[in-house]
Structure 1
């Protein structure tokens, strides 16, 4: 049984592991459990993956009337989770953290079902911190995470199970399809599926009022796209604007510099393609975990960090120009990824899990 949900950073690592398991163990029954409130229901439906949804909800850390409704939903979710586990009878549970996984992880530990935790963020989330002592193994992305977990006897530093659909297209073909010039550098800007208000505002100012010596691929977020298209005061042949990037692996292959948030999956994709980056961590992320994620890349010399509250269009424009116009800087930043790049994470995790289960006679 896999339990995941909430954001892509908690969903796609589970799907990557699911595919790795099925590659060598197709005869086993698999089930995903998530929240009826998150992205997981639609994602699993599109992927053709079996999923059960429960009424798990996140609790805000400030006083809010919505917490009353969330409390009622979570109370119901306890009974739903218990029923699902009793019916499916999993031999093991893989939990990727976040609020949708709490109830299943709780009952799995109560019933002494082997639990394996996947922690994508450098700062471990609530579920990981709460159940790490009871888990058979805790798989983490970065050694930074070791600073936040007391029991380290069951921890494996393996990186994030990454799901990348490899593109076999040649660079020339991708440039042609994107209507971009292969002879000019490309800056790709993303703010997550919902977009980043701060990044979008800065970039619109840059495009409208400054000279560009590079090309821009800009994913605005689906809800922001129409407003941004109306706000651009001129057409620019160096700028390609879209609501969301579906062919991310292709875009990353032609990207010289990335400007983005510092969510766990975004960081891992950047690491996989070794792309120099300017990171603008989401200031309201729980426990400031995006800033901690970003520090790994900054400390390795592979990225620069701009704090959201201090960032404006002038600062971002100057930072982009300083990096993109210096080939030696780009080369060094790209090379520095060798210090932190993780390889074959999902295969390592699957192998370790099966070794653990074989010890139990499975």
Structure 2
């Protein structure tokens, strides 16, 4: 018969017994709070759209340059843009279940959403307890809610970035309700009016480093391949006075923009003989768009997605697109005039607020989707390009007065300082 409690066969006092393997939340919090990895690490959480993912990658890149031995990982959702972009940027991404909150809030579909978010919270608790990062940085998307809630429960510092002029539902919940953020970085001054607390700082929106690089006209289009190479290197685009328009609907595409352009792209290229068009349809709409470009060889490129945006920004003269916060910030950073069509299908109509801020500064023309037609687009282009492009030149001059985008630098420096990296 085996002996218990040592050689004398007595049960050891409770204070001498090894800790029990409890799996409760309290035990998980205590265990993880006392454990640190040998190398400092930070975890970014973001997802859903490029407007949430690209700023996180940009800040991560800057942090990596400041602290080369810093371990950086991402948490996102499967089958969304982060599952493709993050690994290509050199980082590991792990999945956490998440689901959108539907309007109205009383919708029965939110029962499922709450259950999925709860499962996401459990998965995030497990991931964070194992990894134990120095901080969690959230840049938007529903996946930030369970991940940041888990960090808060585990007493891991939470830092947030809100890119829109009107904060998203996830940010408002984490900042105003949960009050879990150690610092909140804002893309627009207007966002302060909708958030509580004294931990708000306006930094602007991080943009990809390549977009900030200035290019000479002779370098435009260098490195382009496929359909982009045809537009950049053939036909009128080879002339120094050529004019390139990029039309895109964000990382997911926009049905309305595609429908309007399908009706009028021929009219645009016929009326403006020195114009070339780059048209990003979005992955989900590419097959619906007519791929016959033979009528305008070297003047029309249709692609499902634009991977090399620094090249596109440096090579195009005017952009027609949605008014996502990061798109707006990239347009300003690249000093590019635009025609913005805010999406009516986003929470709290925040894209209209983004576009209005740019229009007030004289950097864009805003068209509401209900007014966006083939005729309206042709008339707007005519107004910008007629009279030797006087209206467009006014926009270009106004954009030169825009401040330098230092968001990546400032956020990375703040994180490194706050965490003593």
TM-score, with structure 1 as normaliser:
0.90
User: Quick one: distance in 2 between partners of 1:124 and 1:305?
Assistant: 20
Task: Spell out the pairing of 1:1-362 with structure 2 (5 A cutoff).
Answer: 1-62=43-104, 67-132=110-175, 133-151=179-197, 153-165=198-210, 171-172=217-218, 174=220, 177=229, 178=232, 179=234, 180-182=237-239, 183-209=241-267, 211-213=270-272, 214-229=275-290, 235-237=295-297, 238-325=299-386, 326-358=388-420
Which segment drifts farther, 168-177 or 205-214?
168-177
Q: What's the offset of the Cα at 1:10?
A: 0.8
- Give the CA deviation at 1:267: 0.9
| Partner Cα distance (2:150, 2:253) in 1 | 35
Cα distance in structure 1, aligned partners of 2:209 and 2:305: 16
Cα distance, 1:303–1:221 mapped onto 2, change above 3 Å: same
**Residue of structure 1 in register with 2:225 after alignment:** none
Question: How far apart, in 2, do the equivalents of 1:197 and 1:25 lie?
Answer: 42
344-353 or 205-214, larger mean C-alpha shift: 205-214
Alignment check: 8 A CA contact 1:3 1:101 kept: yes
Which whole-Å deviations, capped at 9, do the CAs of 1:142-166 have from their partners, x for residues lacking one? Answer: 1111221232x21111111211436
Helix, strand or coil at the partner of 1:26: coil
Larger radius of gyration: 2
Residues 227, 128 of structure 1: CA spacing in aligned structure 2 closer, same or farther, 3 A cutoff? closer
Where structure 1 has 5 or more consecutive residues not aligned to the other structure, the ranges are none
Runs ≥4 residues deviating over 6 A: none
- Over 3 Å counting, the alpha-carbon distance change for 1:146 and 1:8 in structure 2 is same
Is residue 186–residue 254 contact of structure 1 (8 Å, CA) maintained in 2? yes
Matched-pair contact (CA < 8 Å) for 1:300–1:339: no
CA distance in 1, matches of 2:312, 2:86: 24
Cα distance 1:29–1:217, how it changes in 2: closer, same or farther (>3 A)?
Answer: closer
After superposition, the Cα gap between the structure-2 partners of 1:164 and 1:321, relative to the gap in structure 1 and judged at 3 Å, is: farther
Partner of 1:112: helix, strand, or coil?
A: coil
Give the Å deviation of 1:348: 0.7
The secondary structure found in structure 1 opposite 2:365 is: strand
CA contact (8 A) 1:2 1:33 kept: yes
Query: Residues 307 and 144 from structure 1, CA distance in 2 versus in 1: closer, same or farther, beyond 3 angstroms?
Result: same
| Mean CA deviation greater in 89-98 or 285-294 | 89-98
The alpha-carbon deviation at position 65 of structure 1 amounts to 6.3
1:35-88 CA-to-partner distances (Å, cap 9, x unmatched) read: 235322232233331222111111222476654443332221121111111111
8 A contact 2:162–2:171 mirrored in 1:
yes
Unaligned runs of 5+ in 2: 1-42, 223-228
Q: Distance in 2 between matches of 1:340 and 1:124?
A: 23
Q: Is the 8 A contact 1:37 1:55 kept in 2?
A: no
SS in structure 2 at match of 1:165: helix
Q: Any idea what SS the aligned residue of 2:210 has? A: coil
